[in-house]
Amino acid sequence: MGKLHFRALLLVCRPIMPRNRKPVIRRRSEHTISRKDIDEDALRVMQRLNRNGHKAYLVGGGVRDLLLGRNPKDYDVSTDAEPQQIKKLFRNCFLVGRRFRLAHIRFGYHKIIETSTFRRQPDPLADPSDPNACIMSRDDNEYGTPAEDARRRDFTINGLFYDLKDFSIIDHVGGLPDLKKGMIRSIGDPGIRFREDPVRMLRAVRFASRLGFRIEARTRKAILKHYPEIEKAAPARLLEEIYRLFAFHAGEPAFFLLWQTKLMSVLFPEVDAYVNKNGKDQAPIWRFLAALDSGEHWRGDPTPALMFAALLCDPIQKRAEVLGAVADRTAYASLVEDLIAPISQRNRMPKAARYRLIRILVDQQRLDAVLEPTPKGGRRRGGSPSRFVNQESFPEALTLLELRAAAGTADPQVVVRWNELASSVLREARSSERTDAAKDAAAKTRSKPRRRRRRKPRNETPRD
């Protein structure tokens, strides 16, 4: 067959699954999703679209998580209504996106039900058989059928639909068996799908680590082949995905998988080199990330500074040891700044997070020095502990110290000492607050102006 014909055939055969294959439909009695488990605003959106003659399905992560018995993070709806039609039906609807208009239907301050019109995967203009051709999706704005909408999604487990009309699950892509097997499988040729959108490789890692699933062999092989292309993804999307890797207490397995799939060598080459030199799968960094995942050392979600600190603290420490900069506070601070600069630039880290990250890393030296004896007649290294405790960055710096202790790279006694100091500073502050309040109250009573008694009007006899 001539080369041209072969290429044309490739384009024609590109469909991910036979296009006219009938979807698998699971009736209500054959699956576990109950309407009661679905967010009521998402139900409202689908009901109104249905009542107005439109198809509307719950799609993506919402269906996947409900089938797994998990609480979905957010809900997405796909419909045959076009954006302007959606807008007419919902007063609380805002259209967003330049290339492909999406409807954001808002409920309260925080909830958005993202509602998109069925669309299809555009055929790449370039030849998919040419590994050097650029086939990154730029144009993703063609409306399509429900089946095409399912096939344009990233992984089979993310391509399932839930139909509120008859409570059935519709599977166009083989997501149900993969969900059962615990498998992350690309919809279509993973090599092409990852070249179209390299962020999908990070998403594969995220879902595998968050759900404890395996990445299917072909999909994994494609990541190992195309990992350098992750560099082509927009930095803002990458940073967002990196933050999401830490969510759901799955940072350690996620970064371990990033290392195994070589994505780490592009995203964090410094960390990758450190892991390879410092024990590989036994490197202390895995203990740092596991301690962060355990959630024992912080309340709420870890901040961006803490996430990056858990990732970079030990690599920086090892570098400082090599360069002999551990004992010298100024040398250590400038080393931290130098090492963070390319990482924060590459990841477009917001300035505030970068400053905070540098601060809590540099503060570790000061924290470590607390058990050192104060030199006779001299000043303690790092200044007064009580002033330090009152600094805004102290809680995060202390959390990082706790992570270091859990990872075995800091003395647990140092953590104990700082917690004692922090409590005593807090106690002092409370008691001086109480004393101040008492003084204020006393001062107020003393200086209270005496109220003049109004004299009773005398019963004077009116004069004539």
With respect to Mg ion, which residue has the nearer C-beta, 15 or 61? 61
Residues 271-290 that bind ligand ATP (CB under 6 A): none
Side chain identity at residue 417, one-letter code: R
Q: How far apart are CA 273 and CA 422, in angstroms?
A: 37
Cα 246 → chain centroid: 6
Q: Which does residue 293 touch among Mg ion, ligand ATP, none (CB within 5 to 8 A, set by kind)?
A: none
Figure out which of the listed residues 80, 149, 197, 314 binds ligand ATP, where binding follows CB under 6 A.
197
**Minimum distance of Mg ion from residue 70's CB (angstroms):** 12
Catalytically annotated residue among 65, 76, 80, 363: 76
CA distance 139 to 83: 17
Strands (E), 186-296: 214-215
Between CA 117 and CA 102 the distance in angstroms is: 7
200-219 footprint of ligand ATP as x/- string (CB under 6 A): x-------------------
Non-local (6+) Cβ contacts of 105 within 8 A are 41, 45, 86, 90, 92, 93, 112, 113, 114, 115
Quick check: 393 and 367 in contact, CB under 8 A? no
Contact of residue 153 among Mg ion, ligand ATP, none (CB under 5-8 Å per partner type):
ligand ATP
> The tokens of 174 are what?
């083989």
* One-letter amino acid of 264: M
| Contacted entry of ligand ATP, Mg ion, none for residue 154, CB cut-off 5 to 8 Å set by kind | ligand ATP
Terminal-to-terminal C-alpha distance of the chain: 133
Residue with Cβ nearer Mg ion (61 or 382): 61
Binding mask 39-78 for ligand ATP (x = CB under 6 A): ---------------------xx-----------xx-x--
Number of neighbouring beta carbons within 10 Å of residue 418 = 21
Size of the site for ligand ATP (CB under 6 A): 11
CA distance 369 to 379: 12
DSSP state of 56: E
Site string for ligand ATP, 392-421 (x = CB under 6 A): ------------------------------
Question: In this chain, which stretch among 4-12, 22-30, 194-202, 415-423 interacts with ligand ATP, using CB under 6 A?
Answer: 194-202
Q: Is residue 199 within the footprint of ligand ATP (CB under 6 A)?
A: yes
Q: Which residue has the tokens 């990852």?
A: 194
Exposed, middle or buried: residue 448 (CB in 10 Å: 0-12, 13-18, 19+)? Answer: exposed
* In the complex, least distance from residue 105 CB atom to Mg ion, rounded to whole angstroms: 15
Token digits of residue 260: 């195994």
Active site residue 123: no
If one asks whether residue 244 binds Mg ion (CB under 5 A), the answer comes out as no
Per-residue x/- mask for ligand ATP, residues 135 to 174, rule CB under 6 A?
A: ------------------xx---x----------------
Q: Which stretch binds Mg ion (CB under 5 A): 67-75, 85-93, 209-217, 281-289?
A: 67-75
Which among 65, 80, 149, 154 is annotated as catalytic? 154
Shortest spacing between CB 76 and ligand ATP, in angstroms: 5
Nearer to ligand ATP, 73 or 218 (CB): 73
Q: What is the 8-class DSSP label of residue 114?
A: E
Applying CB under 5 A, which part among 2-10, 59-67, 229-237, 407-415 lies near Mg ion? Answer: 59-67
Considering the complex, what minimum distance in angstroms separates the CB of residue 60 from ligand ATP?
Answer: 3
Residue whose CB is nearest to ligand ATP in the complex, by number: 61
Side-chain-side CA neighbours of 131 within 13 Å: the count stands at 8
Which tokens hold the place of 34? Answer: 């109950």
Q: Is 139 a catalytic residue?
A: no
55-63, 215-223, 246-254, 436-444 -> range binding Mg ion (CB under 5 A): 55-63
Distances (CA, A) of 244 to 145, 170, 254, 351: 30, 28, 10, 19
Report what 197 binds from Mg ion, ligand ATP, none; CB cut-off 5-8 Å by kind: ligand ATP
Q: Which residue has the tokens 């058989």?
A: 129
Q: Where are the alpha helices (DSSP H) in 28-122?
A: 40-51, 61-67, 83-89
Residue 369's binding partner out of Mg ion, ligand ATP, none, with CB under 5 to 8 Å set by partner kind: none
Q: Are strands 76-79 and 111-117 parallel, antiparallel or unpaired?
A: parallel
* Catalytic residue, candidates 41, 74, 140, 368: 74
CB of 66 to ligand ATP, least distance (A): 11
61 binds Mg ion (CB under 5 A): yes
Provide the phi-psi class of 369: left if phi over 0, else alpha when psi is between -120 and 50, else beta: alpha
Contact in structure between 74 and 114 (CB atoms under 8 Å): yes
197 in active site: no
Q: CB under 5 to 8 A by kind: which of ligand ATP, Mg ion, none does 382 bind?
A: none
**DSSP classification of residue 198:** T
Residue that has been written with the tokens 């371990």 in this structure: 256
Taken in order 269, 190, 102, 104, is the CA torsion positive or negative?
A: negative
Minimal distance, residue 187 CB to ligand ATP, in Å: 8
23 binds ligand ATP (CB under 6 A): no
Using CB under 6 A as the criterion, which residues of the chain lie in contact with ligand ATP when the complex forms? 60-61, 73-74, 76, 153-154, 158, 197, 199-200
Q: What are the catalytic residues?
A: 74, 76, 154
